[in-house]
């Protein structure tokens, strides 16, 4: 059975319509942050097992960026939100 993702704009779609960007939790350092902060942001990432938030792009649909909360071990999807709407809510 194919994995499905419920796009908030297009409805439930097969995961093959999406491209994953990766972890949605890192916070970009300030432009004038030291080299170590930038090195850590670009190159050093945790790789936890379990429930995580990731950026996904709905390339074959609405072309929106989404934040998908899923378990990276079982691949179960818990929630999908529009990345722009989530960013506005955090501001």
Domain borders along the chain are 4-90
| pLDDT per residue as tens digits for the range 44-76 | 988 899 999 999 999 999 999 999 999 999 999
Threshold 0.85, pTM exceeds: no
C-alpha to C-alpha distance for 73 and 50, rounded to whole angstroms: 6
Question: Residue 88: helix, strand or coil by DSSP?
Answer: helix
Per CATH, the homologous superfamily of domain 4-90 is Folate-binding superfamily (3.30.2270.10)
The confidence score (pLDDT) of residue 86 equals 75
Evaluate whether 5 touches 12 at the Cβ level (below 8 Å).
Answer: yes
Reading the block at residue 39, the tokens are 């090195």
Reading the block at residue 17, the tokens are 């319509």
CB-side exposure of 56: number of CA atoms within 13 Å?
Answer: 28
The dihedrals phi and psi of 23, each to the nearest 5 degrees, come to -55, 130
């Amino acid at each position: 059975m194919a994995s499905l993702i419920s796009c908030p704009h297009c409805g439930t779609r097969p995961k093959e319509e999406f491209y994953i960007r990766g972890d949605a939790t890192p916070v970009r350092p300030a432009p004038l942050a030291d080299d170590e902060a930038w090195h850590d942001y670009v190159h050093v990432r945790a790789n936890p097992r379990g429930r995580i938030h990731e950026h996904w792009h709905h390339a074959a649909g609405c072309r929106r960026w989404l934040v998908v909360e899923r378990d990276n071990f079982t691949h179960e999807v818990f929630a999908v939100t529009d990345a722009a709407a989530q960013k506005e809510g955090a501001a």
